[in-house]
């Protein structure tokens, strides 16, 4: 299969799944297995194109970010709380990710782990949806510090491929009393520093490979994946926020369970 076609497919997968509670990394790993190419050669690509999806959040919420920036210069307490919450929520995964980067990367080729994590994550979402009570915390800046720290710690679970960073943070937020839309938007905003950090590490680690275009996975493929994931993510995020404001997360949970079962069956028959 042509390199650029693979990049296009993976860009679509990334754009669709990055902000849904279904695990973008898990889907990229399974797509790699399904398409039958060397997962190790595409590992850096899979991380870097996530930045395209992150850019979609910057574009969609630019008014929010601009208002926060203006408010910070004016000494607005709400703006400073917004920034504080994002940075503190990001710290646990940043520290743990830096300390465990080699062990985390070793898990990225484990498709069986992804399938199991998809199933368990789906069950967890169904349980949380069933048990969580009506929530009162509305607005990222209004989240108490203990809630922010709790969500940040829960986000660390997403270092296991298949768990889903957005799923962990959204469900963590709901469990700690944050309403649906705020939990989703906090997850989106947390993704910016989290994925910027992960992408920077991958660029530094694989810069020689990318510059040389070794094995055909060079900057041209990365550019295609980046642009496609950006465009697709814009559409998906708009639809997702509108959907969860009116409905629950159960359809995503059932999808995870079904996808995990199908993946396990397929992997066992290979």
Asked whether 13 and 259 are in contact (CB, 8 A), the reply is no
Give me the pLDDT at residue 45, please: 78
Give me the pLDDT at residue 129, please: 85
In whole angstroms, give the CA distance from residue 156 to residue 92. Answer: 7
In whole angstroms, give the CA distance from residue 141 to residue 139. Answer: 5
Give me the pLDDT at residue 206, please: 64
Model pTM above 0.95: no
**Residue pLDDT, tens place only, 200-230:** 776 676 666 656 554 456 778 888 999 999 9
Asked whether 34 and 20 are in contact (CB, 8 A), the reply is no
Give me the pLDDT at residue 149, please: 96
Low-confidence spans in the chain with pLDDT less than 50: 214-215
Q: What are phi and psi of 160, to 5 degrees?
A: -85, 115
Contacts of 108 (CB under 8 A, 6+ apart): 25, 29, 39, 43, 46, 161
Residue 208 CA, chain-centre distance (Å), reads 26
**Residue pLDDT, tens place only, 223-255:** 899 999 999 999 999 899 888 877 788 899 999
Give me the pLDDT at residue 36, please: 76
Give me the pLDDT at residue 39, please: 65
Q: What are phi and psi of 161, to 5 degrees?
A: -60, 135
**Every domain of the chain and the residues it spans:** 3-269
């Amino acid at each position: 299969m042509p390199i650029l076609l693979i990049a296009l497919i993976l860009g679509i997968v990334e754009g669709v799944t990055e902000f849904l509670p279904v695990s973008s990394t898990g889907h990229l790993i399974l797509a790699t297995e399904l398409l039958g190419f060397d997962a190790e050669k595409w590992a850096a690509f899979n991380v870097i194109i996530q930045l395209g999806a992150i850019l979609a959040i910057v574009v969609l919420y630019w008014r929010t970010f601009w208002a926060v920036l203006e408010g910070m210069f004016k000494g607005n307490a709400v703006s400073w709380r917004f920034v504080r919450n994002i940075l503190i929520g990001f710290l646990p995964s940043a520290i743990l990710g830096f300390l465990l980067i080699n062990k985390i990367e070793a898990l990225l080729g484990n498709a069986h782990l992804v399938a199991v994590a998809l199933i368990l994550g789906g069950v967890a979402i169904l349980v949380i949806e069933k048990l969580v009570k009506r929530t009162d915390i509305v607005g990222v800046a209004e989240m108490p510090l203990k809630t922010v720290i709790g969500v940040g710690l829960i986000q660390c679970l997403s270092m296991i491929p298949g768990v889903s960073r957005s799923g962990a943070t959204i469900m963590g937020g709901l469990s700690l009393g944050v309403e649906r839309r705020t939990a989703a938007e906090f997850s989106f905003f947390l993704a910016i520093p989290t994925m910027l950090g992960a992408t920077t590490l991958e660029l530094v680690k694989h810069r020689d490979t990318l510059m040389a275009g070794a094995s055909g996975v060079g900057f041209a493929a990365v550019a295609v994946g980046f642009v496609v994931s950006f465009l697709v993510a814009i559409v998906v995020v708009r639809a997702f926020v509108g959907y969860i404001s009116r409905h629950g997360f159960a359809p995503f949970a059932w999808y995870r369970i079904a996808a995990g079962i199908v993946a396990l069956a397929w992997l066992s028959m290979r």
